[in-house]
Copies of this chain bind each other. A is one copy, B any other.
């Protein structure tokens, strides 16, 4: 009974603080929300909530603000992800469907996510791990230089120029090409990598060095390290909007945004494409980002994610709205990647 009201008070505090950016007092609370009780009662509840560590006051005789723990409680127990409006859904889908290129899809996702949430959006490139080899092409540039092109089912293209230790005749190249294509095309990249290794073993000594060099380059191109390293960031202009004491944390924030490794770590936890990960303030490993929260989720055709996307902003953010936007964009990206 009183417990219910206390939680209502917590919710009200979070909502008010998020929208006004100012510590919220008992009087203002009963005015803005119809709690049906007097400020004094609310004060008692506040004292209890503070006891539990869910809210705090920046200084004596100021209003209360939610703690990280308070936000956590709010996110976990007090809110539903509010569905997007029809107009928003339409906006997302039309905007994303204009893309005809993987790069384009990623770019547009970042934009729409930043636009919707008014936060900083981050989208990771899809991992190669679950994709398969669509095509391999070997192009002779000169007698000892070879251009290797690897095309994956996600639409990603990797290319390398390699130097061959020995000259390669056009006829041999044709044979090699067909053997390599036969071994790898259509396979998942892990399988393809193994097959290429085996191919080297099976080759007689004349062409063996060639096959070895080419296979090595291909396997290297398939290794998803470089790929998953790539993230795209957007909406940094929203940083200015954050204002407040956030000015001081703007520098580490900008630095973090350039350090893509950090971003990947932040996104990294979101591996499932059906749940949304929320990291609030100091829950993460980076002390510089103690005043920021991350809302992220995985995306991908199946249940398992091939990449992550999300937003990062001040702990004082509209969690329900952000979560809804992240989820919606992830779904659209998944379907688009599926049909491509």
A residues near B (Cβ < 8 Å) are: 100-101, 134-135, 137, 139, 141, 147, 149, 151, 155, 157, 159-161, 234-237, 239-241, 247, 250-251, 254-255, 257-258, 340
Contact = CB atoms under 8 A, between A and B. Distances in A.
Contacts of A151: 139, 147, 149, 159
A112 to B, nearest CB: 13
What's the dominant secondary structure at chain A's contact region?
mixed
B134 A137 contact: no
Contacts of A161: 100, 155, 340
Nearest to A137: B137
B134 A141 contact: yes
Contacts of A160: 100-101
A288 to B, nearest CB: 12
Identical chains in the assembly: 2
Given A236-B236, A255-B237, A258-B234, A139 B149 contact: no
A139 B147 contact: no
A241 to B, nearest CB: 8
The 10 lowest CB-CB distance pairs between A and B, nearest first, are: A240-B251, A237-B254, A237-B255, A135-B139, A157-B157, A137-B137, A236-B254, A237-B258, A157-B159, A240-B250
Most buried by B among A161, A236, A247: A236
A48 B241 CA distance: 43
A271 to B, nearest CB: 26
A149 B134 contact: no
A141 B152 CA distance: 12
18 contacts: A100-B160, A101-B159, A101-B160, A134-B139, A134-B147, A135-B147, A149-B157, A155-B159, A234-B258, A235-B258, A236-B254, A236-B257, A237-B251, A237-B254, A237-B257, A239-B254, A240-B254, A241-B251
